[in-house]
Structure 1
Amino acid sequence: MRERWGAVGVLAAALFVVNAVARLVIKFGFPDDDTAADRVTLAMFLVIGLILAVLAFRWGSDRPTGRLAGDLAAAIGVALALTLFVGPLLVGKSPFADGAGTFFAQIWLYLAATAAGVLVGYLTLTALGRDFRSRQLKRYAELKATKPRKVVRR
């Protein structure tokens, strides 16, 4: 159990660190350039999506879908909360400094990026037939094919 939640915690921390690094790069590297800030933000969302795609691909091969979804949802939820409430404090802003529209836009963009990453990773895994369920069905089919037929006497 500790190993399971440890991995989820590390994932949440990694997602938050990606966001924190992007915020710090924007603050110190491009304080007045909105175009560069948008590019850094886009790169941050791509990195987050890529991390989740790789982990969905990796974790999906040895975990049932329900457990995989729960683990990823927990990590994304914790990382999202940290990103919304702690991330702005790192650069000296209030979480609600830019208004409710920006606050909720951050939520939707973050959820869209994470959902896209998870879907790409898991659908790729499923298409290759390497997900937990496909492997389970393959083992079952092999087991049934190797049993000798029973001779029925009449």
Structure 2
Amino acid sequence: MAQRWRTVAAIAGGLFAVNVVARLVVRWGYPGDDYAADAATLAMLAAVGVGCLAVAAWWTPSRPAGAWAADLAAASAAGLLLAILVGPLLSGTGPFSYGAGEFFKQVWQWAGVSVVGALVGTGAVTALGQDHRSRGLARFARERLAGARKPRR
């Protein structure tokens, strides 16, 4: 059980690290440039989506959907909370300094790219027939066919 939470914490830390890098690049490299801030935000959101896609694609073949989806949701939620509550402090502002609308916009954007990334990752693995359920059904079919052979005379 501790290993499971260690993995969730590592994924959350990785997602938060992507946010920190984006914030520090904008703060030190492009202060006051709104276009650079928007580009860094898009790159950060793309990285979060690709990260969730990769984790979902990695876990889908070996674990039931309920188990990996709960772990990925917990990791993404923890990364999101760190990114919206601690991240602004790194860039010299507060979490609500731009208002509640901007705060909740960040929440919905992060949640959206996380869900889409996870769905694309698991969809690709499922389409290839390598997900946990498809592999179990294929194993059942092989065993069933192996036992249903007619005896030769």
| Superposition TM-score, scaled by structure 1 size | 0.94
Shift of 1:149: 5.5
Per the alignment, residue 98 of structure 2 pairs with 98
Per the alignment, residue 24 of structure 1 pairs with 24
Structure 1 spans left out of the alignment, 5+ residues = none
Per the alignment, residue 134 of structure 1 pairs with 134
Shift of 1:148: 4.3
Aligned-partner Cα distance in 2 for 1:105–1:98: 11
Aligned-partner Cα distance in 1 for 2:93–2:40: 18
- 2:75 is equivalent to residue 72 of structure 1: no
Structure 1 stretches of at least 4 aligned residues deviating more than 2 Å after TM superposition: 148-151
Per the alignment, residue 87 of structure 2 pairs with 87
CA deviation map 1:48-106 (0-9, x unaligned): 11111111001111000000111011101111111111111111211000001100100
The one-letter code sitting in structure 1 at the alignment partner of 2:25 is V
Per the alignment, residue 144 of structure 2 pairs with 144
Percent identity of the aligned residues?
47
- 2:20 is equivalent to residue 15 of structure 1: no
Q: SS of the counterpart of 1:62? A: coil
Aligned-partner Cα distance in 1 for 2:40–2:128: 33
Per the alignment, residue 39 of structure 2 pairs with 39
The one-letter code sitting in structure 1 at the alignment partner of 2:24 is L
Structure 2 spans left out of the alignment, 5+ residues = none
| Superposition TM-score, scaled by structure 2 size | 0.94
The one-letter code sitting in structure 1 at the alignment partner of 2:115 is A
**Matched positions, count:** 151
- 2:107 is equivalent to residue 107 of structure 1: yes
Per the alignment, residue 124 of structure 1 pairs with 124
RMSD of aligned residue pairs (Cα, Å)? 1.3
